[in-house]
Amino acid sequence: MAPRAKAVGLADPHVDICFDRGNCYYDTDHPFKRRNTDIKPHDDGLEIFRTVRRELEARIIKKGSNYFIPRGCLHDIFTPGRLLAVVQQLWKNMSGHDQQSFCQKVLYDVRCWKVFLLFILTKHHKLLPQLWKEESDRNEKLRLSDRCLPLKSIDSESGEIKCQNENHSFHQFPGWEEEDLSHCQLHSFEQASYALNAVYFKLPTDGEQNHVHYCLGPKDVLPYTIMPSRAPDSPSSDRGFLSERADSPGQSSNNGNPRSDTDQDDNLHGGFGEVMRIIIDRSHFDFGHLGSDNGNNKEVAFALKRLHASDKEAFDKELASLISVKAQKGTHLIKLLTTFSVIEQDGGNEVFYLLFPWAEGNLWKYWKVHQPRNEQERLALAPWMAQQCHQLAIALLCVHNERQLTLSYYDILDEKGELYGRHGDIKAENVLYFEADRTLVLSDFGLGRLHTKYSRSNADPKALERSATYRAPEFDLPRGRISRACDVFSLGCTFLEFVTWHVLDYDAVYNVFPNKRMDDDTVYGFETDTFFKIEGDIAIIKPQVRDWMEDLKKDKEDKKASEYTKQFLDIIEQMLNPDPTARIKVSKLVRELGKISRACEDDKSYYGGESPSRSYVFH
C-alpha cells in the first residue's frame, strides 16, 4: 500500500500555511475603523515628521544586528490625525476636502498607511508625492501598498526593488536617483520594512483550520526575547521540557546516587530539539485567553522548541501528533500554539520551531514547592491528586489512540508500529504543572521525537533507553517486546513517586526511595535505581519496591493510612506488573482511576484517614 503521508503534517487541510508574517490576521484583528466625520489633524507643522520618527525610534527593540518596532505602538504613534498632518505638509496645494479623501485612500482603499510610516522612519518622506503621482498616473492607485511589505530586496547596483507581490517591480523609487543613496542607506530602508512587519502569531478560534504554520525567511524578525530558563531561586539548571526545573534524582551528585538518565536531556539539548523560554511582545500574538493580562500588563512566557535537524518528515510527524490532540478539548496534554519554519539564509536549511505555553514547573518542582505543611493540607490534596492522576491516564490513552490513527497514514504497522505507537518517555520530568488552573499535563509526546530516536538507532532501538530509571523490564529482556505497555509501567513508577510524596514528603521521594531502590544491575554491571531487576531470563519487581508499597499502606504514628492510598497502590501494583501481557491496560486504568477520583469527591472519609462510610471494592 502506498504511503498516505501527504494528508498529515503541513499537508493536513486543517493547517493554514501563512506566508505574510500574520499581516492578514493582524489587519483583521486591528482594523482602522472607517470614519463618518472628517479627520482632525494632530501635531501639524513641519515637526510632524520628526515627532513620528522620534517616537518610532524610542520603541525600537534590538534583535542582534536587527530590530523591530512592536505593532501595538504603530497605531498609537501614526494616528489618522497625524497622517492628515503629513498630507497637509506634503500636498499643500490640495484642498481640505481632497486631503480628507486622500487619507481615506491611504487608510482604507489602497491601504498604504505603513508605506508612509516606512518613508517617514527612513527620512525619505519627501519622495512620497512623486511616488504617489507616478504610480497613480499609471495605475490609478499607488502600486506600492502595505501588502508589498516587507521589501524582499533592493539591488544596490541597479536599484531594482522586489516586494512581496510577485507582480510588482520597481526599477527605482521615483526621486532616489537624485539622492544617490549608498548601499548602507538602501540596506537600512529594506531593514526598516521588516522592522515594521515583525511576525504576528494567531491561534485560530473558528472555522476548519485549527493550526497556523508560518513560513519565514532569513530577514524576518521574530518579536520575542529569549529569557534565562531558570528562575534565580531555582536550585539547578533548566533541563526540563517547557518548564522551570527543580532538582530530580540523578541530576546532581548531592544525593549520592550515581544514576545517569542518558535520555533525560534528549528534548532540551539532544537528538530532537532544544527548548527556550521566551517572552513575545504582547502586540504580536493572540492566543485567546492565554496571555490575557486583565490589565496587569504581566509578561507571559512561552516555550519555543527548535528542532535540531532540518528533517521535514520528523516535523510532519511531530505536528500530526500535536494537532491531533490539540483538537481534543480538555485533555491534560500540552497544547501546541503555533509552528513556524525559517530559511536561515538564502538557499540555506529550513529550521522548524514549535511554540507551547510555558509551565511553572514539572512534577518534581511541584513536589518541592508545594509540600503540605500539616496533615490537614496533606489530606486536602487527595481529591485533586486523584483527579489529576485520572486525567494523566486519560491523556496517555489519548496519545495511544492518536498514534494508531497517525501511524495508519504512514503505514507503520506490526512491531515497528508498537515501537512508534507509544509515548516513549513518561517520567515526572515530563509531567508539567500550570499554576493558574492547578493542572498537571503530559508533555513530550510528539511522534517526531520517536521518529528521530529510532532513525538514529541502526540496530536495537532499546539501546536508547538503557539507563532510564522509569524504563519497563521489556527493555532489558532479550525477547522483550517494546509496546504501549511500557508506558503504563513508566506511569506506574511516576504514580508511586507521587504517592510517596503525598504520604511522606519530598525528601522521601527525592532521596530515601531512590536510595532504597539502588541495586546491582546484572545486565549492565552497575548500580541502578530502576523499579525492577532481572533474575535469569525473567524480570521481577525489586523486593525493596514491594516492601516500600506495603509500608505506605501501613498506619503511621501520626497518620492513618487511607483507603484511597491503599487502593491507589493496588492499582499501581498492577501497572508495575513485570509481565507486559498481564499488566493493566490503559483503558482499564482510566476506569479504575476514575472510580477512585469519584470516591474522593463523594466521601471525605475515603481519603481522610477515617473509616469510610461505605465499602469501596474496585477490582
Quick one: three-class SS letters along 53-76? HHHHHHCCEEECCEEECCHHHHHH
Residue 291 has pLDDT above 70, yes or no: no
Q: Which residue has the cell 463618518?
A: 36
Same domain, 136 and 277: no
Same domain, 151 and 235: no
- Report the sign of the C-alpha dihedral through residues 216, 218, 219, 222, in that order: positive
3-state class of 406 per DSSP? helix
CATH of the domain at 591: 1.10.510.10
List the domain range (segments joined by +) for residue 417: 211-251+262-290+299-606
Residue 3 has pLDDT above 80, yes or no: no
Same domain, 225 and 166: no
Backbone angles phi, psi at 216, to 5 degrees: -120, 160
Residue 50 has pLDDT above 70, yes or no: yes
3-state class of 527 per DSSP? strand
Residue 515 has pLDDT above 90, yes or no: yes
Average pLDDT, the chain: 81
Work out the pLDDT band at 399, boundaries 50, 70, 90: confident
**pLDDT at residue 121, rounded to an integer:** 97
Distances (CA, A) of 198 to 74, 150, 195: 12, 9, 6
Which residue type does 413 have?
Answer: L
Q: How much of the chain, in percent, has pLDDT values that exceed 90?
A: 49
User: Which is it for strands 532-535 and 527-528: parallel, antiparallel or unpaired?
Assistant: unpaired
The burial class, CB within 10 Å (0-12 / 13-18 / 19+), for 218 is exposed
Mean pLDDT along residues 312-337: 81
Same domain, 237 and 149: no
Backbone angles phi, psi at 41, to 5 degrees: -70, 145
pLDDT tens-digit map of 193-236: 999 999 999 988 665 557 999 999 999 999 999 988 654 333 33
Give the global pTM.
0.84
Same domain, 51 and 159: yes
d(CA 525, CA 140): 82
Residues whose CB falls within 8 Å of the CB of residue 32, separated by 6 or more in sequence, listed in order: 75, 80, 107, 108, 113
Same domain, 396 and 470: yes
Domains in the chain, number: 2
d(CA 385, CA 45): 66
Distance of CA 81 to the CA centre of its chain: 40
d(CA 79, CA 98): 18
* The three grid cell numbers given for residue 583, joined into one nine-digit string: 499488566
Lowest mean pLDDT, pick from 65-79, 85-99, 360-374, 557-571:
557-571
Residue 471 lies in a domain: yes
Same domain, 577 and 602: yes
Lowest mean pLDDT, pick from 56-60, 376-380, 386-390:
376-380
Same domain, 452 and 520: yes
Same domain, 370 and 460: yes
pLDDT tens-digit map of 165-185: 776 766 667 667 666 677 788
Residue 585 has pLDDT above 70, yes or no: yes
Residue 529 lies in a domain: yes
Residues whose CB falls within 8 Å of the CB of residue 252, separated by 6 or more in sequence, listed in order: 236
Work out the pLDDT band at 270, boundaries 50, 70, 90: very low
**pLDDT at residue 458, rounded to an integer:** 39
The burial class, CB within 10 Å (0-12 / 13-18 / 19+), for 54 is exposed
Q: Quickly list H helices, 220-311.
A: none
d(CA 407, CA 8): 10
- Identify the bridge partners of residue 275 per DSSP, sorted by sequence position: 305
Q: Quickly list H helices, 91-165.
A: 96-104, 113-121, 128-139
Residue 462 lies in a domain: yes
d(CA 419, CA 482): 6
User: Which is it for strands 224-227 and 439-442: parallel, antiparallel or unpaired?
Assistant: unpaired
d(CA 489, CA 477): 15
Q: How much of the chain, in percent, has pLDDT values that exceed 70?
A: 76
Residue 29 lies in a domain: yes
Residue 201 lies in a domain: no
Residue 521 lies in a domain: yes
Same domain, 238 and 139: no
Residue 329 lies in a domain: yes
Q: 535 and 543 in contact (C-beta within 8 Å)? A: no
Mean pLDDT along residues 601-609: 88
pLDDT tens-digit map of 457-503: 333 445 544 447 899 999 888 888 888 899 999 999 999 999 999 99
Residue 245 lies in a domain: yes
User: First CA to last CA across the chain, in angstroms?
Assistant: 43
* The three grid cell numbers given for residue 17, joined into one nine-digit string: 500555511
Which residue type does 319 have?
Answer: L
Work out the pLDDT band at 257, boundaries 50, 70, 90: very low
Backbone angles phi, psi at 429, to 5 degrees: -65, -30
Same domain, 136 and 283: no
How many other C-beta atoms lie within 10 A of the C-beta of residue 178?
A: 9
17-29 burial string, b = 16+ CB within 10 Å, else e?
ebebbbbebbbee
**Phi-psi category of 263—alpha, beta or left, where left has phi over 0 and alpha has psi -120 to 50?**
alpha
Q: Which residue has the cell 536549511?
A: 349
Same domain, 569 and 593: yes
Work out the pLDDT band at 83, boundaries 50, 70, 90: very high
Mean pLDDT along residues 419-428: 76
How many other C-beta atoms lie within 10 A of the C-beta of residue 184?
A: 9
